[in-house]
Amino acid sequence: MSEAQSRSSVPHALPFWVSLAIVPTVWIAAIHGGWTVLLPPLSTWLAFSVLDRLTGLDLRNAGPDTPDDGIVWHRAITLIWVPVQVLTIFGVIGYMVRSAHLDLWEMLAVAFGLGILSGTIGIVYAHELMHRQSRVERWLGDVLMTMELYGHFRSEHLLVHHRYVGTPRDPVTARYNESFHRFFPRVLRQSLVSSWRAETSMLARRGLPVWDRANPFWRYIALDLGWLFLAMVAGGWIGVLLFVTQAFVAIWQLELVNYVEHYGLTRKHQGGGKYEPQKPHHSWNASHTASNRLLINLQRHSDHHYRPDRRYPLLQTYSEEEAPQLPFGYPVMTTMALIPPLWRRRMNPMVRRWRMQFYPEITDWRPYDRAETPMPR
């Protein structure tokens, strides 16, 4: 940590509650239709891109040893969001189908907005919750992830990604020159397989079969089916279509962020199938004030991987000498990722500079640049 990044008190909790402001934008879209279906993306992607520009960087670091009772209201929003998301998604779906004042395309556009709500906020909060030791918090993380029909993400994230990030064994690490449009279908397939293998391997080490109740995949599937049933109750088959649409949009956003977080960054191979320990410079860091409030410091990703047990208000930011810095916050970076020529023009030179800065001794990067990722065994 540089001198410029001084210790400070924990930032006030209220700005992190800004996520609740997205809820009325979805309801307005569902009630009025028309141009208002644009409100969810405008109030998140566009608004926070502008706010990042206006508010700049926040380089302050809270004391990392702050006890949980000092961040009660920071933790509360991640818990309160769970019933808010459930009521919003099924309430909006039921309202649209029963009121019959929107055509199908408008309803799908509103479902897209629901996916922004559940992907931009719900999955980010699920990510925070799944890293906690509390069984209640981890269970609530499962609730949020299965609302996107993507419950296996917890297994993949905790057992594969955090262990193998920056290596060929991590499906979620985007390779240098790999476009998002190639990354997305690959990671959908490989993350499901790798998470299943990781869980069944753990069961085997305990002498348990894959069908044992300890396998969390059965919980994921049961919750998935439960949400689909509620969508059917709320709006029939159209309700199921709208629910699946929001889930897909949320997953798409999740993997867009995953693509950005580690693009082109690798851990040095030490021989014998072993890689160097994880360090802050193996994740892209971003200290943009506004988007870090919306995304509860997810962009301080360098510290999250360095200390995954650290709660979000206490995540540290780093200087350019310690971790690579994204030029913009996630709202802008994920938009850039959708345009591969623009993305490569901006990011590839930054990856090459990162290589010269942290690994000047490596002259042949071809083994690290494979776009296809071997699966963990």
Residue pLDDT, tens place only, 352-376: 999 999 999 998 888 777 644 444 4
Segment among 178-187, 217-226, 273-282, 292-301 with least mean pLDDT:
273-282
Give the pLDDT score at 150. Answer: 97
The residue ranges of every structural domain in the chain are 7-360
Averaged confidence pLDDT in the chain: 94
What confidence tens digit (pLDDT) does each residue in 18-75 have?
A: 999 999 999 999 999 999 999 999 999 999 999 999 999 999 999 988 998 899 999 9
What confidence tens digit (pLDDT) does each residue in 123-157 have?
A: 999 999 999 999 999 999 999 999 999 999 999 99
Give the pLDDT score at 148. Answer: 97
Give the pLDDT score at 20. Answer: 97
What confidence tens digit (pLDDT) does each residue in 192-215 have?
A: 999 999 999 999 999 999 999 999
What confidence tens digit (pLDDT) does each residue in 95-115 have?
A: 999 998 999 999 999 999 999
What confidence tens digit (pLDDT) does each residue in 239-275 have?
A: 999 999 999 999 999 999 999 999 999 999 888 888 9
Neighbours of 270 (CB within 10 A): 10
Average pLDDT over residues 325-340: 97
Work out the percent of the chain whose per-residue pLDDT is above 90.
89
Tell which residue, 147, 74, 78, has the closest CA to residue 115: 147
Give the pLDDT score at 7. Answer: 60
Give the pLDDT score at 4. Answer: 42
Give the pLDDT score at 314. Answer: 96
